[in-house]
Amino acid sequence: MATSTTKLKLVRESLGLSQDALAHRTRSVSVSTYVRVEQGKGAARYGTAMQILEAINVLLREAGKPEMTLEDLELRLY
């Protein structure tokens, strides 16, 4: 069962971004899909998860922080 505070949410908030802003940093993930994934309300497709991870890693690099892996984000994949 997913908690209301997922690892993805914690990372996004640590970067100071809204859900909308992070979704727009991906190539094609809609805001509604991003919100569903962040809230743990369903499994993410591998391609969706990779787009979110890529966007986060760009932001982490820009902030001088270490990059993450999919495992670090604890996303459920299908």
Residue 1 lies in a domain: no
Distance between CA atoms of 12 and 2, rounded to whole angstroms?
17
Residue 35 lies in a domain: yes
List the alpha helices (DSSP H) in the chain: 7-14, 19-25, 31-38, 46-62, 70-73
For residue 47, give its domain range.
Answer: 7-73
State the pLDDT at residue 3: 47
Q: Give the three-class secondary structure for 41.
A: coil
Can you give the pTM of this predicted structure?
A: 0.91
Residue 2 lies in a domain: no
What is the CATH classification number for the domain harbouring 52? Answer: 1.10.260
Tally of domains within the chain: 1
State the pLDDT at residue 78: 87
Residue 20 lies in a domain: yes
Taking residues 14-24, what's their average pLDDT? 97
State the pLDDT at residue 2: 45
